[in-house]
């Protein structure tokens, strides 16, 4: 997958940056630098193009995912992470995704499909990636989840549904509500505070 890697402090986690629809691997670099400038970064570009806009999986319409493609792309990203960990010499267990919107959705999809897949997770405006499927045990995984009180893409009840599913699997979820679908500085401050409590 098209990506960039920046080696940071080897004692720190590796941020896996996953952009929103129409973004690329450079989009979330300032956010990673804001949260922890010393962490390593693996930033990936989604392999799917929707009218020229990169995404991580296909959708049938806004908020309706192509489940077969999501399954395939989630496995593809998982395989890519294993390969990247070997090539760049970091431990798979140290990955913390910072995903926004479509990128948060594929990060959430990883949580639904693979046990122990991340050390912790920052899911900014994520949706429930798949229904009628239980999340494997998360064993206290710390998760920062955000939504927006007037988010036109992710209704509040969907953010809360995802929160409940993550908690039911044993996740330690910190929930933040901003205003709309856009990222705000106060939301990023909250994510940084959450991160700094653990690292
Ligand atoms: C998605 O398709 O993943 C969500 O609708 C968010 C987005 O618009 O990218």
Cα–Cα distance for residue pair 59/163, rounded to 1 Å: 22
Give how many domains the chain has, as a whole number.
Answer: 1
Number of continuous H segments (helices) and E segments (strands) in the chain? 5, 11
**What residue owns the CA closest to ligand 1's atom 5?**
63
Q: Is the shortest distance between the CB of 62 and ligand 1 below 6 Å? A: yes
Whether 25 contacts 2, CB under 8 Å: yes
ipTM of this complex: 0.95
CATH number for the domain that contains residue 100: 3.40.50.1820
Q: What Å distances lie between residue 70 and 65, 95, 112, CA to CA?
A: 7, 20, 12
44-68 per-position pLDDT tens digit: 999 999 999 999 999 999 999 999 9
Question: Which residue owns the Cα nearest ligand 1 atom 1?
Answer: 102
Q: What's the confidence (pLDDT) of residue 199?
A: 87
Write out the residue range of the structural domain in which residue 138 sits: 3-198
Please tell me the distance between residue 87's alpha carbon and the centre of ligand 1 in angstroms.
30
- State how far the Cα of 9 lies from the Cα of 77, in Å rounded to an integer: 24
Task: Name the stretches of the chain with pLDDT < 50.
Answer: none
> What is the arrangement of strands in the sheet containing 3-6, beginning at the earlier edge strand?
3-6, 40-44, 14-18, 95-100, 120-124, 142-148, 172-178
């Amino acid at each position: 997958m098209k990506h960039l890697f920046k080696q940071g402090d080897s004692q720190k986690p590796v941020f896996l940056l996953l952009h929103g629809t129409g973004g690329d691997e450079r989009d979330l670099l300032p956010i990673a630098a804001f949260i922890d400038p010393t962490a390593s970064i693996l930033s990936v570009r989604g392999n799917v193009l929707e009218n020229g806009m990169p995404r991580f999986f296909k959708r049938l319409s806004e908020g309706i995912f192509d489940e077969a493609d999501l399954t395939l792309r989630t496995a593809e990203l998982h395989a890519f992470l294993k390969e990247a960990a070997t090539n760049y010499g970091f431990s798979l267990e140290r990955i913390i995704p910072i995903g926004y919107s479509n990128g948060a959705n594929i990060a959430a999809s990883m949580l639904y499909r693979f046990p122990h897949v991340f050390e912790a997770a920052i899911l900014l405006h994520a949706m429930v990636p798949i229904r009628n499927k239980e999340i494997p045990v998360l064993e206290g995984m710390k998760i920062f989840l955000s939504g927006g009180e007037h988010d036109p893409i992710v209704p509040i009840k969907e953010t809360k549904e995802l929160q409940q599913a993550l908690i039911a699997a044993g996740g330690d979820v910190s929930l933040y509500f901003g205003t709309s679908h856009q990222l705000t500085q106060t939301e990023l401050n909250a994510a940084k505070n959450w991160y700094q409590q653990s690292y």
